[in-house]
A = this chain, B = another copy of it.
Amino acid sequence: MRSIVSRSRRLLLASLLCGLALRAEAFAQAEPLPSWNDGPAKQAIVRFVQATTDQSSPTFVPPAARIATFDQDGTTWVEHPMYTQIVYCLERVAVLAKAKPELRHVEPFKTVLSGDRAAMARLTMKDLEPILAATLSGMTVGDFKADVGRWLASAKHPRWNRLYTDLTYEPMLEVMRYLRDNGYRTYIVTGGGQDFVRVFSDTTYGIPVEQVVGTMGGTTYGYSKDGKPVLTKEPKLLLNDDKAGKPQGIYLMIGHRPVAAFGNSIGDRQMLEYTGGGDGARLMMLVLHDDAQREYAYGPAQGLPDTKVGTFTQALYDEAKQKGWTVISMKNDWKRIFSFDQ
């Protein structure tokens, strides 16, 4: 027995030292959300963190259950005028057509290769499916990662002429850090490709690859020419991590119901609903794109028609109000949007 007691004492000492060190660090962070204006959205975040991490709170959440999920496109980075991953796929078509010249005569490849931007803009997500399948499968997972990495290091958004990974929302990065500093694990839960987002999740969000939940494709297991085991991306959909697929993906990959969830469109509705379905303190937030000057304005406030990117309908807005989900106004709640803003 003696050795067990002494081991638990040492563990206690170790955890006390760690605890003190981390507490000192947390305490020193007097202003965790500097890019947020004081207002109901910022207050909701701070109140939620206090309510779930203060041991004396009736809604205290133990560290193992502190899960926060973030949609990506339109929630943590710019999604207009086109999802970044779609831009990647479209730009890959030229490369693909070099290897397979017969694609030049097949739609929708033909339209994309024509360079006719008006015709390209008319392509629906459904039209684009053969392009997604062709550009996101057939290569090893290592080759895909390397190719996306190269592309992200040079491709630029037409409006800002900046790397796509520079177009993350500084206020949301602050929320992620604030939650992590308070014992939360932060996950990306995206309708985008899981493999695509994993390429930059760590450097861009501080989120390790195993905490990225996205649309999942199958792989095949095989061998390279020199006999090394390799996984090759297949054009087979395992789970479409959008709408009802988001709670399904969360259950599959995380196995816990989140305590906080952030989104911006009808693709996130079920994730927020599922998060809100648990007991105790919960935080559900929706980013409203209402700032045409600093970013874009689309969604219910603008009465804009459906676009190819995340749709924030009037019905979703009404549901948010009814259920107590917090709508974040980019215009009013965010002091600055990008890290390069003054």
The stretch that binds B, out of A105-113, A121-129, A210-218, is A210-218
Show 14 residue pairs from A and B whose CB-CB distance is below 8 angstroms, ordered by the A residue. Answer: A7-B28, A7-B29, A10-B24, A13-B21, A194-B252, A210-B253, A210-B254, A210-B256, A212-B255, A219-B251, A220-B248, A229-B247, A229-B274, A231-B248
Given contacts A11-B25, A220-B244, A221-B247, 11 further A-B contacts (CB under 8 A): A13-B24, A14-B24, A18-B22, A141-B251, A198-B255, A209-B255, A209-B256, A210-B256, A216-B252, A219-B248, A221-B270
A residues engaging B (CB < 8 A)? 7, 10-11, 13-18, 20-22, 24-25, 28-29, 64, 141, 194, 198, 208-210, 212, 216, 218-221, 228-231, 238-239, 244, 247-248, 251-256, 270, 273-274, 277
| Complex Cα–Cα for A295 and B11 (A) | 34
Residues of B within 8 A of A220 (CB): 244, 248
Inter-subunit contact B270/A252 (CB<8 Å): no
Residues of B within 8 A of A212 (CB): 255
Instruction: Tell me, rounded to whole Å, the shortest Cβ–Cβ distance linking A158 to chain B.
Output: 31
**Beyond A198-B255, A219-B251, is A229–B10 a contact (Cβ under 8 Å)?**
no
Residues of B within 8 A of A29 (CB): 7
Which residue in B25, B64, B218, B255 is a CB contact (below 8 Å) of A14? B25
Residues of B within 8 A of A208 (CB): 64
Inter-subunit contact B14/A22 (CB<8 Å): yes
Residues of B within 8 A of A253 (CB): 210, 253
Which residue in B17, B25, B248, B270 is a CB contact (below 8 Å) of A21? B17
Residues of B within 8 A of A273 (CB): 229
Residues of B within 8 A of A18 (CB): 17-18, 21-22
**Beyond A231-B248, A238-B238, A274-B229, is A210–B25 a contact (Cβ under 8 Å)?**
no
Residues of B within 8 A of A248 (CB): 218-221, 231
Cβ-closest 3 pairs across A and B: A209-B255, A17-B21, A221-B244
